[in-house]
Amino acid sequence: MLINKELQNFKSATTDVLVVGVSKNQNNVANWEQFVEFFGGPIEQWIKEGDIQTNAKAITKIPVFSAEAKVKRVVFVGLGNRKDLTPDILREAFGLVGKTLRKHKTSSITLWMDSFETDEIPASDAVIFAAEGMSMGAYTVENYKTTSNEADARLEQVSFISNTDIAELVAGYEVGEIYATAVNEARTLINKPGNILTASSLADYAVELAKNYDLEVEILDKAQLEELGMGAILAVNKGSKEEPRMITIKYQATDKWEDVVGFVGKGVTFDTGGYSIKSKTGLVGMKGDMGGAAAVLGAMRIIGELRPNKNVIGVIGSTDNMISGNAFKPDDVITTFSGKTVEILNTDAEGRLVLADAVSYAKQQGANYLIDIATLTGGVITALGYDKTGALTNNKAFFETFLDASSETGEFVWQLPLTENDKKRIRKSDVADLNNSPGSDGHMIFGGGFIGEFVGDTPWIHLDIAGTSDARSAYDLGPKGGTGVMVRTLATFIERIAEQD
């Protein structure tokens, strides 16, 4: 995409679409009179009478009739009351703009950034939300239909009208585009069918990602996992013909490999539930059980692009969970990479087993802080619904810093308690150190708490994205399917703590 590095004005802008923010009272918008003169119609009357809607996130499209204008159409974006406009609402509004642009196969736009400013949101921030929202909103799910011959419509050029310095606008748009591209890449991974995205192909993707951004990468295959004694991920993999992979990507920002933040993602490319088999409806959609892995890869892409001054390691345990004569089963006892033993009570509680070995490996590789991300339990949906990510932590200060990042990105996270009584139930077994499924009550807490048994005193956050990783229907920032949730929050978290350091 070409980002025009010269500011435009209403008369010089040559573009398919001019994007303008509108509220009921436009009097305080810089250069509003010039726009009214340029547009050449009774625009203020249309706003007053509702022909141009000003409700938050309302989209109105009007052709430009002026013979002098080099703009084909104006897309008006309703902002509601500017005093109530938030970054989340603005980002979502631009998501709807992105959908509109894609529908009309728009190739060039000009953003009048001053029309989106408020007392709290300067144009230099609004342009970031514009880039994020439009790119995420325009995303479509890759399909495999043989009858589809429609040309892919892409936005090719972006220009700006503003009183703000052009360098600030260009830099902000580039950052927003980097974030959105990483989210969309994660979505594409989540949406891939399990017969196409296997553990080995996910590892190949990670290798290519690392190569593109000069990151260190290590891929452990089945033989290497056996040599290291990673009995938990190997147990989950026993029923499969596809070999597992332990994927590690390192970004070293400082001379010494210290003060390292570790992202650990669940990469189960398809989950049947094993012998604790899912229902026929429960099986559908299990291609997305690697949403945590996608979030880690998306975050590492952003980190590779922006190069924050913070050491980061991403570890992904990847396999599928299948059924065969070799598959693991209830009553089995396995030995994890940490040496702890686990009694298997439920083969559909496999993600926590994969992550047990993965967080242990991340610690061995130098992680001083841990955040694991997983589509782990249906229990988090029962507790919080489909729009909230559930969290556990063993370190309040660490979690609060992360929560600031999630607030900034608009990805809602809610902490649940992990009590000593919960831990006792996870540790209850006549034959092993732990059991992998204490009960269906408090399911999300037991799932995350099990992973917590392997982190020790390391500051740790568990994120259960089972509800938020997949959208059941189209929404402002994307279509039905994988959402790429937590990509932006993880990367923002790293950026903010790097700034503090």
Tell me the per-residue pLDDT of 107-122, one tens digit each, with 9 for 90 and over. Answer: 999 999 999 999 999 9
Taking residues 196-208, report their average pLDDT.
98
Average of per-residue pLDDT values in the chain: 96
Give the number of C-alpha atoms closer than 13 A to the C-alpha of residue 375, restricted to the C-beta side.
Answer: 29
Residue 279: DSSP 8-state: P
Q: Supply the pLDDT for residue 147.
A: 77
Reported confidence tier of residue 229, pLDDT bands at 50, 70, 90: very high
Reported confidence tier of residue 26, pLDDT bands at 50, 70, 90: confident
CA distance 279 to 297: 30
DSSP states of 177-239 as a string? HHHHHHHHHHHHHHHS-TTTS-HHHHHHHHHHHHHHTT-EEEEE-HHHHHHHT-HHHHHHHTT
472 is catalytic: no
Residue 153: is its pLDDT beyond 80?
no
Q: Supply the pLDDT for residue 146.
A: 87
Q: Supply the pLDDT for residue 39.
A: 85
CA distance 328 to 345: 11
Catalytic residue (one of 187, 222, 340, 352):
352
Taking residues 426-447, report their average pLDDT.
97
Residue 152: is its pLDDT beyond 80?
no
Tell me the per-residue pLDDT of 236-285, one tens digit each, with 9 for 90 and over. Answer: 999 999 999 999 999 999 999 999 999 999 999 999 999 999 999 999 99
3-state secondary structure string across 346-388: CCCCCHHHHHHHHHHHHHHCCEEEEEEEECCCCHHHHHHCCCC
352 is catalytic: yes
CA distance 39 to 44: 11
Can you list the alpha helix ranges (DSSP code H) found in 267-322? 280-283, 291-306
Residue 42: is its pLDDT beyond 90?
no
CA distance 362 to 491: 18
Q: Supply the pLDDT for residue 149.
A: 58
Q: The whole model's pTM is what?
A: 0.97
Residue 57, classed as helix, strand or coil, is coil
Taking residues 177-181, report their average pLDDT.
98
Residue 487: is its pLDDT beyond 90?
yes
Taking residues 40-61, report their average pLDDT.
92
448 in Cβ contact with 359 (< 8 Å): no
**Displacement of CA 460 from its chain's centroid (Å):** 19
Q: Supply the pLDDT for residue 150.
A: 64
Catalytic residue (one of 278, 329, 425, 427):
278
207 in Cβ contact with 219 (< 8 Å): yes
Q: Supply the pLDDT for residue 199.
A: 98
Tell me the per-residue pLDDT of 379-394, one tens digit each, with 9 for 90 and over. Answer: 999 999 999 999 999 9
